[in-house]
Structure 1
């Protein structure tokens, strides 16, 4: 299991685990007390819901790419903004812009506490 030792490496570690089908590492990248948004407007929390969400993402056939737009860290908390996609050959299966909040663990590794995979899309802005 290869968990990131730097917050800015979380996106690359997540993509690598996804692309090798390493379910255990993908699951370990997350704090199940947090929130994951695997589909627009569908936030979930808790181990069972996290696992269900992650398995549904892993079921998408293709290669995941995650580009880090930025990663800002203060102490043991970091926020990242990503642009990601899953492609099967040239076909884009899914593409989005996400926001992730990460927390450093006691062992120095980083876990994702909040993963809003669609949080930076223009149409996800609050109305008002």
Structure 2
């Protein structure tokens, strides 16, 4: 799988990665030294915790869709705001509003360094 060459393409690329059902493909989208928040108020970091989190999300059967609400970029850092869901037919398995921080890599591609999957939810408390 090719990583996105533009920060604003990261959400679509991430959804496509999840829809492959392959852990390694999804992991390639992340800098595992960063942070992922796969459930509200449960941030994790490090390769094994990222992998465990990705496997848990992939266990939700259905299709992931991610809509980019906005993507702001300055230099090699970008901030994205997303609305995402996993659906199976007409059934919504999970849906949320997220915030993602991305970093451009030396080869010009973008990886997600912070994925707060529920970061834009109205009831989120820090």
SS in 2 for 1:115: strand
Tell me the alpha carbon deviations over residues 57-106 of structure 1, each in whole angstroms, 9 at most, x when there is no partner. 01100000100000000000000000000000000000000000000000
Aligned residue for 2:100?
100
Instruction: Give the TM-score normalised by structure 1.
Output: 0.96
Aligned residue for 2:4?
4
1:58 aligns with 2:58: yes
C-alpha distance in 2 between matches for 1:18 and 1:50: 14
Instruction: Give the TM-score normalised by structure 2.
Output: 0.97
Query: Contact conserved, 1:2 with 1:25, CA < 8 A, in 2?
Result: no
C-alpha distance in 1 between matches for 2:75 and 2:17: 26
SS in 1 for 2:123: helix
1:44: Cα distance to partner?
0.2
Gaps of 5+ in 2: none
Tell me the alpha carbon deviations over residues 30-77 of structure 1, each in whole angstroms, 9 at most, x when there is no partner. 001100000000000000000000110011000001000000000000
Displaced runs of 4+ in structure 1, greater than 2 A?
A: none
C-alpha distance in 2 between matches for 1:16 and 1:98: 17
1:72 aligns with 2:95: no
SS in 1 for 2:82: strand
C-alpha distance in 2 between matches for 1:23 and 1:54: 7
Aligned residue for 1:115?
115
RMSD (Å) for aligned C-alpha atoms: 0.8
Aligned residue for 2:81?
81
Aligned residue for 1:45?
45
Gaps of 5+ in 1: none
